[in-house]
Structure 1
Amino acid sequence: MLRYLPPAVIALALVGCATTTTRSGNLAIAELADANGRPIGTAALSRRGNETLINLSVAGTPGAVHGLHLHAVGKCEAPFASAGPHLNPGGHQHGKDNPMGSHLGDLPNVTIGQNGVGTASASLGTNDAAIDAALFDADGSAIVLHAAADDYRTDPSGNSGARIACGVLTRS
């Protein structure tokens, strides 16, 4: 038996479907390159429900544990100082193990195997509006791979060493 649905109910149902559709898939992509401009990986931002996620895949990088951070400027000119400091809209200190930390730019270390391949995933949190405002401000943002592991404590960069690869986050 078919029932009559008022146009307002149909419109609300369609808006709900559109919202669900836009909250899946990639929010932004970054193609990481080393200081010689050689592509070494991809980072993708996506949303799952209210959560903003980042997923990184790297290939062709020295096998080691590397620090990984979001940086405040969407510019990647070697040696990548152009990416600015870590993305820190709340003015916090660095590191998940720092009693005064952490900030939005803090990401987990990525372990690159001896075959040069590695992946990392992390949640940036659930405050979509604040995350989007920080990531997609006038000068954008970048993701940077560092030469050494992040100690998750030392301000401002976790003793993670030189910046060895960088990618600008671009909305999908």
Structure 2
Amino acid sequence: MRVVWIGALVSLLMITGCGEKRSPLESALYNQEGDRIGSVTLTEQSDGVEVKVQAEGLEAGPHGIHIHEFPKCEGPDFKSAGNHFNPTKKKHGLLNQKGAHVGDLPNLDVESSGSAKAKLMISGATLKDGQTSLLRKEGTSLVIHSEPDDGMSQPAGDSGDRVACAEITLNSDKDKASDPTDLNEKQKE
């Protein structure tokens, strides 16, 4: 009986990733100058991954926001994040009949104060293992662009420069400042 319990425990650990915490997963969001401007929290759901974004210091209006293929946020242009996350080889755009990339998201609306708070859903994505896992290989990143995504233009929705980036990895929660204003207060000291 003891052997059966040990076997079941080993199987459970293998299935759950040996204790890796994959959900919820929090990542710091940085601007082009390398300042922390917010956070991104990803939570596994039955129909995809929920993304909560909290940010400040952005220009008011709609901004394209996407998951990109590499977990690298090297400023100031964030080109290190690569292209949109597209493991299913679709066309870009939530309005495209041949789309969308797994990494395509609705635009992020930024208030006149420069702050944004949104809850978005990445349908078909997962934080578990698999083809559409945001944590496959080394991970991915979330990028906010300067302009809105038009939902159709190839390859990226004509959404302009990359202005903010968050790395999505199993270790992305190592920078634990609770919100950007807390971090800013600590930097003034």
TM-score by length of 2: 0.72
Asked if 1:35 is matched to 2:24, the reply is no
Residue 97 of structure 2 is matched in structure 1 by 99
| Match 1:123 to one of 100, 112, 121 | 121
The CA distance in 1 between the partners of 2:66 and 2:130, in whole Å, is 14
Letter in 1 for 2:106: P
Deviates more, 1:135-144 or 1:85-94: 135-144
Aligned 8 A contact 1:30 1:142 in 2 = no
Aligned 8 A contact 1:70 1:142 in 2 = yes
Q: Which structure: larger Rg?
A: 1
CA shift for structure 1 position 27:
3.0
Aligned 8 A contact 2:69 2:140 in 1 = yes
The CA distance in 1 between the partners of 2:163 and 2:125, in whole Å, is 30
| 1:141–1:99 CA distance, 2 compared to 1 (3 A) | same
Q: Deviations over 1:82-126 (max 9, x none)?
A: 000000000001011111110111011111111111122222235
Letter in 2 for 1:125: S
The CA distance in 2 between the partners of 1:40 and 1:34, in whole Å, is 6
Aligned 8 A contact 1:29 1:170 in 2 = no
The CA distance in 2 between the partners of 1:151 and 1:68, in whole Å, is 11
| Match 2:108 to one of 103, 107, 110 | 110
CA RMSD of aligned residues (A): 2.5
Q: Deviations over 1:113-147 (max 9, x none)?
A: 11111122222235645667531122310000000
Residue correspondence of structure 1 range 1-172 to structure 2 within 5 A = 26-49=23-46, 51-78=48-75, 79-125=77-123, 128=126, 129=128, 134-171=133-170
The CA distance in 2 between the partners of 1:107 and 1:88, in whole Å, is 12
Letter in 2 for 1:69: H
The CA distance in 2 between the partners of 1:92 and 1:64, in whole Å, is 28
Aligned 8 A contact 1:54 1:121 in 2 = yes
Residue 177 of structure 2 is matched in structure 1 by none
TM-score by length of 1: 0.79
Letter in 2 for 1:167: A
- Identity %, equivalent residues: 31
CA shift for structure 1 position 49:
4.2
Aligned 8 A contact 1:69 1:86 in 2 = yes
SS of structure 2 residue aligned to 1:82: helix
CA shift for structure 1 position 28:
2.0
The CA distance in 1 between the partners of 2:141 and 2:130, in whole Å, is 14
How many residues end up aligned between the 2 structures? 154
